[in-house]
Amino acid sequence: MNKLDKQYQELLMTILEYGVEKKDRTGTGTKSIFGYSIRHKMRDGFPLLTTKKMAIKSLMTELKWFLKGDTNIRYLVENNCKIWNGDAYKNYKLMNLLATDVDYVSMEEFIENIKTDDSFADLYGELGPVYGKQWKKWDKYDHQLTDKEGFPNVKSSVDQIRNLIEQVKDNPDSRRLMVNAWNPGDIDKMVLPPCHYGFQVYTRELNLDERIDIYNEGVNPMSRSNDYFHEHMDVYGIPRREISLMWNQRSVDTFLGLPFNIASYAMLLEIIADEVGMVPGDLIGNLGDVHLYNNHIEQAKEQIKRKPFKLPKIHLIEQDILNGEFDYKIINYESHPTIKAPLSN
């Protein structure tokens, strides 16, 4: 049974029934609730919604962009990922708001210029210190070395992803296995503050029955000692530990954004698990202001009516998490058609 789509449909119904009307920065208006959680066991399938077709390549491209530490949309544009186009175009207009000699280009021309004009892309494709900057290059100052006014003057950076991987390998039971994207000192420099502002991982040892389930051989563990069978599982490369991931999100565009967030963090969990030699466990989302834009209401009602299909599987072909590269194959993804809805930027 596909519990993920059911959870998502229940969330849509909850917002429609109990959501309150709220204004928002886009001027669209929303129905909103505060506080909700989603939980998915990765062994039940890869969490791509089946009640509407998902743009898999776009969400995977954005995740690679984060992991590369990139903050310019050129990489996204070159890979036909449109997620941040509206924010970049809006920022382009704001940057020229007071200029009297600027003829604004259209969105289509803007994107073409990002692709073909290096100087234009450097100036207008930059989104500020958004996710990739915080994940991979969080600013750090050496407080032992100061300038003549007494302020820290030696700056380096923290690669939170690298640190996380090293910490999981060295101390898997630590409660400090976290990555944070909410940097108060950088918020005003970002075109959009982080909606999903941090994540934490948690690992535990698998018991013998769980390892045998993964191996799927049907061996009876009662006939010999647990140590014998654990060693047998080791020979076949069955991990001894499971790793789970929980992300926190302050603002949740439930119809367009949340399905991407779920699948993106699921993919991140798959990659981290592969890097540290563990099995992906649970994926948990803690959601703050959970809303439906008023121009997504009818689309949500349509999606609620649809019967979910079985979740697909994913095969991670290869990955290089520290350089933002991975390859994958989605297996047996069956879905209902796309439901179109306008973006609210």
Could you give the residue ranges of the DSSP H alpha helices within 2-154?
3-18, 56-68, 74-78, 85-95, 107-116, 118-124, 131-137
| Extended strands (E) in 131-278 | 138-141, 155-158, 178-180, 196-205, 241-253
Catalytic residue status for 81: no
| Rounded distance between C-alpha atoms, residue 43 and residue 280, angstroms | 8
Are 92 and 124 a contacting pair, CB within 8 Å? yes
Q: Which two tokens stand for residue 251?
A: 């603002």
Are 66 and 55 a contacting pair, CB within 8 Å? no
Angle in degrees, CA 200, 204, 210, rounded to 5: 130
Q: Is 39 exposed, middle or buried (0-12, 13-18, 19+ CB in 10 A)?
A: middle
Is residue 190 helix, strand or coil?
coil
Catalytic residue among 55, 105, 195, 256: 195
Angle in degrees, CA 243, 244, 246, rounded to 5: 150
Nearest in space to 286 (alpha carbons), one of 176, 225, 214, 196: 196
Q: What is the DSSP letter of 107?
A: H
| Rounded distance between C-alpha atoms, residue 284 and residue 262, angstroms | 9
**What is the bridge-based pairing of β-strands 30-41 and 279-293?**
antiparallel
Nearest in space to 285 (alpha carbons), one of 17, 36, 64: 36
Q: Which active-site residues does the annotation give? A: 195
